[in-house]
Amino acid sequence: MENFFLEETSKTPKLSFDVSTGKFLMSGRSIPENSIEFYKPLFEWLDEYVKKPCPKTTFDIKLEYFNTSSSKCLVEIFRRLEKIKDAEIVINWFYEEDDEDMQESGEDFRELIDIPIVMHMIAN
């Protein structure tokens, strides 16, 4: 299978999902009007990936903004990654020092998701 890559736009994040290294990145903004339409190809890619994942998958999330429909899609992404068995997976959630809302969002996901989410503060 091929890597999944999309450049960042003013409303959608950069998506870089490398199937050979297991390094995943989502960065920028996620505020599309129709989040499902945007994320559907990634959902399908992940459905394939979890069948034969890398020994270690590292998912870095560095978002500046996201809307509520994107937060639902993030849950959908995490639910797929929860299916990975017999392989390591970690999610790194990055937030800026004074961005309490982004910090809290990461903590909310930690409560919901059965994958380790490591919080990383970016100092200003």
Partner 1 sequence: MDIQRFYEQFRSEDIIMSYKGSASIDLLSNLMDTLQIKLSEIEPKSSVRKRVFNVLVEVIQNIYHHYGKCHSQNAYDEETVNFLIAKTDANYFIIAGNTIFNEEIPMLRSRIDLINSLSPDRLKQVYMQTLSNGVLSEKGGAGLGLIEIARKSGGKLDYEFYPLSNRLSFFSLMVKIPAALPAAA
β 117-122/56-66 pair status: unpaired
Order of all β-strands in the sheet with 23-30: 4-6, 14-17, 23-30, 56-66, 88-96, 117-122
User: Should residue 68 be labelled a site residue for partner 1 when binding is judged by CB under 8 A?
Assistant: yes
In the list 16, 27, 58, 67, the residue contacting partner 1 (rule: CB under 8 A) is 67
Give yes or no for a contact between 81 and 89, defined as CB atoms under 8 angstroms apart. Answer: yes
In the list 41, 88, 108, 119, the residue contacting partner 1 (rule: CB under 8 A) is 108
State the amino acid at position 103 in one-letter form: Q
Per-position x/- string for 21-50, each x denoting binding to partner 1 as judged by CB under 8 A, each - no binding = ----------xxxxxxx-------------
Q: Closest distance between partner 1 and the C-beta of residue 99, in Å?
A: 6
In the list 6, 14, 96, 110, the residue contacting partner 1 (rule: CB under 8 A) is 96
